[in-house]
Amino acid sequence: MRVSVIGGGTVDEAAAEQARAVGRLLGERDHVVVCGGLGGVMAAACEGAHAAGGETVGILPTADRRDANEYVDTAIATGLGHARNALVVMNGDAVVAVDGGAGTLSELGFAGVFDRPVAGLGTHDAPGVEAVDSPAEAVDYVESASSSQH
Protein backbone atom coordinates (compact mmCIF):
# COMPACT_ATOMS: atom_id res chain seq x y z
CA MET A 1 0.00 0.00 0.00
CA ARG A 2 1.11 3.58 -0.58
CA VAL A 3 0.51 5.97 2.29
CA SER A 4 0.70 9.73 1.87
CA VAL A 5 2.32 11.30 4.93
CA ILE A 6 1.48 15.00 5.12
CA GLY A 7 2.24 17.75 7.59
CA GLY A 8 4.17 20.87 8.34
CA GLY A 9 7.27 21.77 6.38
CA THR A 10 8.73 23.20 9.59
CA VAL A 11 7.89 21.38 12.81
CA ASP A 12 9.11 21.03 16.38
CA GLU A 13 11.02 17.94 17.50
CA ALA A 14 7.93 16.26 18.99
CA ALA A 15 6.09 16.38 15.65
CA ALA A 16 9.23 15.31 13.79
CA GLU A 17 9.59 12.30 16.09
CA GLN A 18 5.96 11.31 15.48
CA ALA A 19 6.52 11.56 11.73
CA ARG A 20 9.73 9.49 11.97
CA ALA A 21 7.84 6.83 13.91
CA VAL A 22 5.02 6.79 11.33
CA GLY A 23 7.57 6.41 8.53
CA ARG A 24 9.44 3.69 10.40
CA LEU A 25 6.23 1.70 10.99
CA LEU A 26 5.15 2.09 7.37
CA GLY A 27 8.58 0.91 6.20
CA GLU A 28 8.55 -2.06 8.58
CA ARG A 29 5.14 -3.07 7.22
CA ASP A 30 6.29 -2.81 3.58
CA HIS A 31 4.22 0.25 2.72
CA VAL A 32 5.55 3.02 0.45
CA VAL A 33 5.70 6.53 1.94
CA VAL A 34 4.49 9.24 -0.44
CA CYS A 35 5.09 12.85 0.60
CA GLY A 36 5.87 16.32 -0.65
CA GLY A 37 9.58 15.55 -0.60
CA LEU A 38 10.87 18.54 1.36
CA GLY A 39 11.54 19.18 5.08
CA GLY A 40 9.68 18.94 8.37
CA VAL A 41 7.18 16.09 8.55
CA MET A 42 8.11 15.02 5.01
CA ALA A 43 11.82 14.57 5.77
CA ALA A 44 11.15 12.94 9.14
CA ALA A 45 8.70 10.40 7.69
CA CYS A 46 11.14 9.57 4.89
CA GLU A 47 13.98 9.23 7.40
CA GLY A 48 11.94 6.75 9.46
CA ALA A 49 10.94 4.72 6.41
CA HIS A 50 14.52 4.74 5.10
CA ALA A 51 15.84 3.48 8.46
CA ALA A 52 13.37 0.56 8.26
CA GLY A 53 14.35 -0.29 4.69
CA GLY A 54 11.15 1.18 3.26
CA GLU A 55 10.58 2.98 -0.03
CA THR A 56 9.90 6.73 -0.26
CA VAL A 57 8.47 8.94 -3.00
CA GLY A 58 8.66 12.73 -2.91
CA ILE A 59 6.32 14.75 -5.12
CA LEU A 60 8.08 18.10 -5.16
CA PRO A 61 6.58 21.55 -5.61
CA THR A 62 9.69 22.63 -7.53
CA ALA A 63 10.97 21.81 -11.00
CA ASP A 64 14.25 20.33 -9.71
CA ARG A 65 14.45 16.75 -8.37
CA ARG A 66 17.59 17.70 -6.45
CA ASP A 67 15.43 19.73 -4.05
CA ALA A 68 14.19 16.49 -2.43
CA ASN A 69 15.29 15.66 1.08
CA GLU A 70 18.10 13.11 1.39
CA TYR A 71 15.73 10.27 2.34
CA VAL A 72 13.59 10.40 -0.81
CA ASP A 73 14.22 7.39 -3.06
CA THR A 74 12.13 8.58 -5.99
CA ALA A 75 11.84 12.34 -6.49
CA ILE A 76 9.16 13.66 -8.83
CA ALA A 77 9.62 17.29 -9.86
CA THR A 78 6.36 19.06 -10.74
CA GLY A 79 7.01 22.81 -10.86
CA LEU A 80 3.46 23.17 -9.53
CA GLY A 81 4.07 24.78 -6.15
CA HIS A 82 1.25 24.01 -3.69
CA ALA A 83 -0.89 22.68 -6.53
CA ARG A 84 1.19 19.49 -6.22
CA ASN A 85 -0.68 18.81 -2.96
CA ALA A 86 -3.42 17.11 -4.96
CA LEU A 87 -0.83 14.74 -6.44
CA VAL A 88 0.64 13.87 -3.04
CA VAL A 89 -2.76 12.72 -1.78
CA MET A 90 -3.88 11.13 -5.06
CA ASN A 91 -0.83 8.87 -5.10
CA GLY A 92 -1.52 7.37 -1.68
CA ASP A 93 -4.15 4.78 -0.80
CA ALA A 94 -4.51 6.43 2.61
CA VAL A 95 -3.18 9.50 4.43
CA VAL A 96 -1.48 10.16 7.75
CA ALA A 97 -1.40 13.83 8.75
CA VAL A 98 1.05 15.04 11.40
CA ASP A 99 0.81 18.64 12.60
CA GLY A 100 0.58 21.05 9.66
CA GLY A 101 -0.66 24.41 8.49
CA ALA A 102 -2.62 25.68 5.51
CA GLY A 103 -0.87 23.39 3.01
CA THR A 104 -1.78 20.37 5.10
CA LEU A 105 -5.35 21.60 5.32
CA SER A 106 -5.53 21.71 1.51
CA GLU A 107 -4.24 18.13 1.37
CA LEU A 108 -6.90 17.06 3.86
CA GLY A 109 -9.48 18.60 1.52
CA PHE A 110 -8.09 16.59 -1.38
CA ALA A 111 -8.19 13.45 0.77
CA GLY A 112 -11.94 14.00 1.04
CA VAL A 113 -12.27 14.60 -2.69
CA PHE A 114 -10.32 11.42 -3.50
CA ASP A 115 -12.04 9.42 -0.72
CA ARG A 116 -8.84 8.51 1.11
CA PRO A 117 -8.97 7.40 4.76
CA VAL A 118 -7.07 9.85 6.99
CA ALA A 119 -5.47 9.39 10.40
CA GLY A 120 -4.59 12.65 12.13
CA LEU A 121 -1.86 13.14 14.76
CA GLY A 122 -2.15 16.62 16.24
CA THR A 123 -3.46 18.07 13.00
CA HIS A 124 -6.56 19.92 11.82
CA ASP A 125 -9.99 18.82 12.97
CA ALA A 126 -11.48 18.38 9.51
CA PRO A 127 -14.22 16.20 8.05
CA GLY A 128 -13.04 12.64 7.49
CA VAL A 129 -9.99 12.92 9.75
CA GLU A 130 -9.79 10.16 12.36
CA ALA A 131 -7.96 11.68 15.33
CA VAL A 132 -5.43 9.22 16.76
CA ASP A 133 -3.04 9.40 19.71
CA SER A 134 0.06 7.60 18.45
CA PRO A 135 1.98 6.71 15.31
CA ALA A 136 1.05 3.03 15.76
CA GLU A 137 -2.62 3.91 16.02
CA ALA A 138 -2.30 6.03 12.86
CA VAL A 139 -0.77 3.20 10.84
CA ASP A 140 -3.22 0.63 12.21
CA TYR A 141 -6.12 2.91 11.28
CA VAL A 142 -5.04 3.54 7.67
CA GLU A 143 -4.31 -0.17 7.14
CA SER A 144 -7.72 -1.15 8.45
CA ALA A 145 -9.65 1.63 6.70
CA SER A 146 -7.87 1.11 3.40
CA SER A 147 -8.41 -2.65 3.37
CA SER A 148 -12.12 -2.20 4.10
CA GLN A 149 -12.44 0.05 1.02
CA HIS A 150 -11.05 -2.57 -1.36
The model's pLDDT over 50-101, given as tens digits with 9 standing for 90+, comes to: 999 999 999 999 999 999 999 999 999 999 999 999 999 999 999 999 999 9
Look up the pTM and report it: 0.97
The model's pLDDT over 32-41, given as tens digits with 9 standing for 90+, comes to: 999 999 999 9
Looking at residue 18, its pLDDT comes to 98
* CA nearest neighbour of 15 among 43, 51, 55, 57: 43
Domains of the chain are 2-142 (3.40.50.450)
What is the percentage of the chain residues whose pLDDT exceeds 70? 99
Looking at residue 149, its pLDDT comes to 72
Measure Cα distances from 123 to 38, 97, 112 in Å: 18, 6, 15
* CA nearest neighbour of 53 among 25, 79, 78: 25
